[in-house]
Structure formats: C-alpha cells, structure tokens
Chain A
Amino acid sequence: MSFWVTTKRVTRYGIAGFVRNGFVSLAAVLIMTITLSVVTGLIIASAALNSTLTELTNKVDVTVYFQLNATDEQIADIRRSLEGLPEVASVNYVTREQALADFRERHKNDQLTLQALDELGDNPFGASLEIRAKETSQYENIATYLNAQQEAQTAVGASIDKVNFFQNKTAIDRLTAIIDTSRNLGLAVALVLGLASILISFNTIRLAIYTTRDEIGVMNLVGASRWYVRGPFMIAGVLYGAVAGVAVLLLFYPVTFWLGPGSERFLGSFNVFQYFTDNFPILFLIVMGSGIALGVLSSYLAVRRYLRT
C-alpha cells in the first residue's frame, strides 16, 4: 500500500474521529485552549516584565562630575578608559555648556534660581560623563574603578570632582535585587504554569484515548499496523492543537485590544495590544506549533499504551 494512500486513509479517519467524538473533542480542545492561553499569556507577561525592567534599568546610570578646570584631554582620557571596560554599555559626555543649558531648562519656571545663577556670572557647572552599564549589578565595579582613578595621584584622577554612584548606591542595589528577583520569579512561575497546563492537556488527551482503548484492541486484532492505529489519533491530536490555537489567537485579539491602553498606563511604554499585533507571526507560530506538537505527542504516547502486537 502506497504511503499516500495510507496517509489519505489515516487523515480521513482522524478527521472523522474528531468530528464523530464531538464531545470528547470539545473537551480536549477546551483544555488545550486553556493551556495555550496560559502559554501565550506567559509570553506576553514575560515581554511586559522584560520591557519594564529594561526601562527601569535604563533609568539608572553613574555620573562622573569633573572639576571646573578639567581639560578636554583629561575627560577624553577617562572616557576612553571607561569605554574599554567590558561592563560599560555607553558613555555620554555632557559639556559644561550643556550642563548649564540643561539646568536652565529644568528651572525655567523658577526665576529666583535663574537670577541667582546669573549673579554668579560664571558657569558653575562642571562637565560630566553619564555611564550606562550592561547590567545594573555592574555599576559598583564601574564606580569602584572611577574611585580608584580619583584616588590615584594623577592629573587625570584629580580632575574628577565626584562620582554619584555612592550617593545612589542603596537605591541601585535595591533595584538590582528587585530586577533579579522579578526575572527569576517570572521564570519559575512560567515554568510551573507551563508545565502544569501541559500535563493537564496531556492527561485530557490520554483520557480521550482511554475511552477508545477497546477500539484500539479491535484494530490490533484485525491486523492493523501500529501506524495505522496510531495515525488517526495523531491527526485528531493535530486538530485539537490547531483548533485550540486558532481559538486562542482569536481570543487574545480582543482581550489585548481591551487591555492595551491600560497596560501602557501601568507598565510605562509597553502596550500589550501593540506587542500582540507586532509579534503576531511569531506568536502564531509558537501557539499553533506548540498546540499541534502537544496534541500529536500526547496522542502518540497515549495510544502507545494500548498498542500491542
């Protein structure tokens, strides 16, 4: 018997079984819909968490303030050495003039302060370097490095006025701890929920196939090969996964649309609807792929129990 004839027959029986065992199929699809919703929810939640944490991380930096008399060469020296550090993501140079302009902009509604500034006559602000690390936990190393530079009795070291890390150390350490905990907790919750949902789906399909164990026995008896018995159940598994996947994607469209504005207000710049629509192709692949894989694998394993020769 040719491969295509067998495939055609197995597919036909798989579809017929899916339709004719309507109630069992409905139960399996509903459970898989819940599983895939959890998976999709976890993906979106993890993206939201990451986006929020990245945003928080970006708000943290270490700033080196230079003496008023620091020369461009001294600042360039420090900048070069900082950029050579593996922990450093970026270094932004703020000139004295820029610092003054920023101050004026920040206090444009505070005439008293601006008047006091004008009375000074000279620019009281030193230049500074704003340093961003790749990880928040690395700020301490950078600050320690700068501190060592400052304490070294060199001209370059003497040009550093202060490093603001040590003033913000407690806040940065706490934020680092929160970020690490959130990432680990998020991963743990995702793993537990994901695993639980997969097991529930697997068990539902196993129960669905348990109800047909006598049928499998009859197929064995008539002389059907293992794949001929297993095939239709695996096709039904594909259908459980595919129908549940489509249901989840259809469900998430209005739900994320509804949650979109609220999520943006709550999470800063992360809009769940925008994330859902921007990443639809990859979400489609993940949801359909994991649904179909789960359905097929569950069916394969469940039927194996009743197959014998």
Chain B
Amino acid sequence: MIYFDKVTKIYYDGAPPAVVDITLGIDPGEFVSIVGHSGAGKTTLLKMLFAEVSPTEGSVFFGSREIAGLSDMELLKLRRNIGTVFQDFRLLPTKTVYENIAFALEVAGKSDEDIRADVPHVLDLVGLSDKIWSFPHQLSGGEQQRVAIARAIVNQPDVLIADEPTGNLDPVNAHDVVEILKKINDLGTTVLLTTHNKTIVDAIGRRVVTMDQGRVTRDEKMGKYVL
C-alpha cells in the first residue's frame, strides 16, 4: 500500500542526508512503530508520505501512484486520505473543537448534515463529547491530542500518521492516546507511529522499524524498542 523505493533526502547542499536509500513497504491495516534517536530521519520519512517533503532521490508510492507525480488536486485528495497527528497537536487555535474537526470534513466536501452527525460521533470515540464547544487553549495537552486524533480520523482515512503524538503528554494521557490509535487500527486503518517511548512500543507489540542516521537498521514484525 505504501512503498518507499530507494528514498534519499538531503535538505540542502552540503547537509548530511536526513534519509539514506530507504526501501520499505507497508501493507494495509498494519500498525508500524518507527523508532530511533532524534535526527534519525523518522519525521522526514513520514513527511514524504504526505508530500510536505519531496525525496531528493527515489520514489514514494501510495497505492499504485507515485506521490511526486500527483497533480495539486490529487495531492489534496491524498492528504484527505491520510490523517496526521503531531507532537504539538497543530489545532486551529481560533476554532472550537467542533470547528476543528468539521474543517477536515468540510475540505473533503461533506454536507452540513453529515458533519453535524459525524463530529459528535468521532468525539465520542476519543472521549471528548463534553468539550465540543471549547477552544484548544481551554483544553489540557491530552485533550488537545485527542481532538487532533479525532480530526485525523473523521474522514476515515486509509492511513493515520502519528508523529511523536505522546511526546508532550504524561504517561496516563500517553497510554490513552495509544489505546485510541490501536482501536483505530483495529477498525482497519493503517497506523504509522513514531515515538521515543519504549514502554509504549513494547506494549503495542506490533511491527517496529528502527532508524539510525537516516537508515533503517532493524525491521521486525513483532518488534521491541531497541536502539
């Protein structure tokens, strides 16, 4: 479903490569944890998937399509089909929880009726029904991350990318977030998770890809957090 074909990324001339000659395939429905030190190239790898970064060499495929060959319109459709969650939440600060989630549905062209039905439903899934009219600054870190997850999954994407989603959270909230990700994966969505949290990776007990200095150094189907 996702295929990185000999991908290298160098951000500017003279800089060390962020990602070096990576070939990696990910099947539909997988839960893949990507681990490694800071600067190992995890985030760069994920950014190439939703075309925020383009590879210097090699190709990235989503399904049968190479991402670099997509038109602007196709790229928008691709992004609507990939949910993203980040360490810093990236919510829209002047929009309420409802509007943040509705925004993702609106850009996907959903009707007002669908939006009114879907937003409460997805908030219920992440346990935030009572915060629907709050603004992001009125929520705790864990709550904000759950809103970000709700926004990421509301369009029922094929893939959910979670880049260090637990980095700013306490252990309880981090555990809650991972449980939600597992639940989403159980519903059929492919999940790509990057994290530094050994406990979380070991608890998930699924595929683990380890990166170091831009290269994949280990790829295990039922892996553990080993650097």
Chain A interface residues toward B at CB < 8 A: 1, 5, 9, 13, 16-17, 20-21, 212, 214-215, 217-225, 228, 309
Contacts and interface: CB of A to CB of B under 8 A. Distances in A.
Nearest to A229: B107
Interface stretch (B4-12, B69-77, B166-174, B178-186): B69-77
B94 interface: yes
Interface in B20-73: 50-52, 72
Contact of A221 (B72, B90, B108, B109): B90
Contacts of B107: 219, 222-225, 228
B90 A9 contact: no
Nearest to A8: B112
Contacts, number: 57
A228 B92 CA distance: 14
Nearest to B103: A222
Q: Across chains A and B, which 9 residue pairs bring their CB atoms closest together, nearest first?
A: A223-B79, A223-B80, A1-B109, A224-B107, A20-B94, A309-B72, A218-B90, A223-B76, A222-B104
B154 to A, nearest CB: 10
Interface residues of B, number: 27
B151 interface: yes
Contacts of A228: 106-107
B52 A221 contact: yes
Nearest to B115: A9
Contacts of B72: 309
B93 interface: yes
Contacts of B106: 1, 9, 228
Nearest to A19: B94
B91 interface: yes
A221 B93 contact: no
B108 A218 contact: no
Contacts of B210: none
B76 A309 contact: yes
A221 B76 CA distance: 8
Nearest to A17: B94
Contacts of B109: 1
A210 to B, nearest CB: 14
B159 to A, nearest CB: 13
A214 B79 contact: no
Contacts of B103: 219, 222, 224
Contacts of A225: 76, 107
Interface in B132-177: 151
A309 B92 contact: no
B92 A215 contact: yes
A90 B96 CA distance: 72
A21 B135 CA distance: 13
B84 interface: yes
A25 to B, nearest CB: 11
